[in-house]
Copies of this chain bind each other. A is one copy, B any other.
Amino acid sequence: MEYYTGVKQKGTLEISELLTQAKPGQKVKVNGAVHTIRDMGTVAFVILRKREGLLQGVYEEGTGDIRLKELKEAAAIELEGILEENEKAPHGIELRMEKVRILSEPTDEMPPLAVSKWKLNTSLEAKLNYRSIALRNIRERGKFRIQEGLVRAFRDFLYGQGFTEIHSPKIGAKGAEGGANIFKLDYFHRPAVLAQSPQFYKQMMVGVFDRVFETAPVFRAEKHNTKRHLNEYTSLDFEMGYIDGFEDIMAMETGYLKYAMEIIEKDYGNELRLLDLTLPNVTRIPAMKFSEMKELISEKYGHQIRNPFDLEPEEEMLIGRYAKEEWDSDFIFVTHYPSKKRPFYAMDDPEDTRYTLSFDLLFRGMEVTTGGQRIHDYRMLTEKLKARGMSEEGMEQYLDTFRYGMPPHGGLGIGLERLTMKLVGEDNVRETTLFPRDLSRLKP
């Protein structure tokens, strides 16, 4: 019988520990994957890939009992050596190698992609086919570290604002957003669907916790094959009660974005440098009505309005350009979307019921958030369902919740992969999706 008491301290150090806890001249031990070996005859540079970045090992012929020929690229090793400063090396340090212990060896030394290059010069298709290898390139993986910062900041910010985290089911009897874009499955011989959003659940939970959020996958069986659509993505959702108006939702999102940029600046500086990124300024985000915005870009850029009820991707781009040129902002809230383009639960604007108390957030010319106030009155909700010719079937418990009282409330959903994509400057959402699911891609 043994006892476990917690994490054991290891003899090996991470890069940040080498920089803060060790001194030049000191003997240290590290582990990592052999990223690349540059053999110059009597001297060689062995570059280790560690989770915090690259670390340079320097081999000199005849040192210790290291046999360089036996060291393979892509092996996992433990390395012992003397820490030294070298401003040309990554992080300004290197290790004079004294001992190597091989932890695991590759079967094939030659990966299908040259991951040790600074830029992975290959097609998106190839990167996705060899995803687990492609992401070993440190700039490729850096995008997903930034993504972590975005979702981590979302939760931490909302915990601080009194939100409770929920976990709603992904298999259900009915989709919240309606329409045909629903994946269907057989659930023990009963028809079921995959959740398009946690909308019904987070609203129901507003009556319980006042403020809730969820960060989870959602599923859309859309047959779009574009650079901005995925059939499965991670949605950052929140819903809050006791709002004075849908402006509270936009104010909360602005607060989140400010906080996220602070966290990324503070904790993901390595990745910002790797990717050479400048974070957007979110001191203030302008907001403008949908119909006014349409006219403004039509006037300024001579754009012809074809669909008065929705924004085309090209219009989103022009609005983003307008926001940058006129208000020096990478973000813009477009408010008061037409009612016929919003789901039944959206609250209509009492001043003009053709529009809703809703908004999209555009980031560098692309929609990354949809949100707004919801109907909280049972009668208003069921009447709107009826007016749209929709059935109440499958949403009895959702609707019943409103009978027994609900505060005025609203919320939003943010597409994590899109937000990451615009932040890191990619133009295809698959670049910032770990394992994308689209019309043609179901593996790996």
CB-CB < 8 A to A145: which residues of B?
Answer: 164
Contact flags A160-201 to B (C-beta < 8 A → 1, else 0): 011011111111110000000001111110101010000011
Cβ-defined contact, B205 with A443, below 8 A: no
CB-CB < 8 A to A287: which residues of B?
Answer: 1-4
Q: How far, in whole Å, are A159 and B223 apart by their CA atoms in the complex?
A: 37
Q: Which of A2, A147, A162, A402 has the most CB of B within 10 A?
A: A2
Other-chain residue from B74, B165, B241, B407 in contact with A152 (beta carbon distance below 8 A): B165
Cβ-defined contact, B1 with A173, below 8 A: no
Other-chain residue from B250, B407, B444 in contact with A104 (beta carbon distance below 8 A): B407
Distance (whole angstroms) from the CB of A347 to the closest CB of chain B: 12
The answer to whether the Cβ of A286 comes within 8 Å of any Cβ in the partner chain is yes
Cβ-defined contact, A104 with B207, below 8 A: no
Of the 9-residue stretches A39-47, A84-92, A133-141, which lies at the interface with chain B? Answer: A133-141
State which residues 100-139 of A face B: CB under 8 Å. 103-108, 111-112, 129-133, 135-136
The answer to whether the Cβ of A313 comes within 8 Å of any Cβ in the partner chain is no
CB-CB < 8 A to A444: which residues of B?
Answer: 200, 204, 396-398
Contact flags A53-93 to B (C-beta < 8 A → 1, else 0): 00000000000000000001011100000000000000000
The answer to whether the Cβ of A258 comes within 8 Å of any Cβ in the partner chain is yes
Other-chain residue from B50, B169, B185 in contact with A435 (beta carbon distance below 8 A): B169
Residues A185 and B190 in contact in the complex (CB < 8 Å), given A167-B416, A254-B4, A286-B2: no
Of the 9-residue stretches A6-14, A299-307, A348-356, A383-391, which lies at the interface with chain B? Answer: A6-14
Q: Which of A171, A186, A241 has the most CB of B within 10 A?
A: A171
Cβ-defined contact, A255 with B434, below 8 A: no
Distance (whole angstroms) from the CB of A363 to the closest CB of chain B: 14
Q: How far, in whole Å, are A255 and B185 apart by their CA atoms in the complex?
A: 39
The answer to whether the Cβ of A341 comes within 8 Å of any Cβ in the partner chain is no
Size of the chain A interface, CB-CB below 8 angstroms: 129
Cβ-defined contact, B168 with A288, below 8 A: no
CB-CB < 8 A to A403: which residues of B?
Answer: 106-108
Cβ-defined contact, A407 with B76, below 8 A: yes
Other-chain residue from B12, B132, B216, B231 in contact with A171 (beta carbon distance below 8 A): B231
The answer to whether the Cβ of A430 comes within 8 Å of any Cβ in the partner chain is no
The answer to whether the Cβ of A275 comes within 8 Å of any Cβ in the partner chain is no
Q: How many copies does the complex hold?
A: 2
The answer to whether the Cβ of A394 comes within 8 Å of any Cβ in the partner chain is yes
Q: A interface, by DSSP: helix, strand, loop or mixed?
A: mixed
Other-chain residue from B108, B194, B201, B286 in contact with A1 (beta carbon distance below 8 A): B286
Q: How far, in whole Å, are A164 and B268 apart by their CA atoms in the complex?
A: 12
Q: How far, in whole Å, are A152 and B160 apart by their CA atoms in the complex?
A: 12
Cβ-defined contact, A171 with B405, below 8 A: no
| A-B residue pairs in contact (CB < 8 Å), sample of 19 | A1-B286, A10-B244, A74-B404, A76-B407, A104-B407, A106-B378, A106-B405, A107-B402, A132-B397, A133-B400, A135-B205, A141-B209, A144-B209, A145-B164, A167-B217, A171-B219, A183-B185, A188-B223, A201-B435
Beyond the given pairs A132-B401, A135-B205, A170-B232, 16 more chain A to chain B contacts, judged by CB atoms under 8 angstroms and listed by A's residue number, are A3-B287, A4-B253, A34-B405, A51-B162, A132-B205, A133-B400, A133-B404, A135-B208, A136-B207, A151-B167, A171-B231, A183-B186, A185-B194, A200-B444, A217-B217, A396-B444
Closest 5 CB pairs of A and B: A397-B444, A74-B405, A106-B405, A132-B204, A76-B407
Which residues on A are within 8 Å of B, measured CB to CB? 1-8, 10, 12, 14, 31, 33-34, 50-52, 72, 74-76, 103-108, 111-112, 129-133, 135-136, 141, 144-145, 147-148, 151-152, 155, 159, 161-162, 164-173, 183-188, 190, 192, 194, 200-201, 204-205, 207-211, 216-217, 219, 221, 223, 231-232, 234, 241-242, 244, 247-248, 250-255, 258, 283-288, 327, 333, 376-379, 394, 396-398, 400-408, 416, 434-437, 439, 442-444
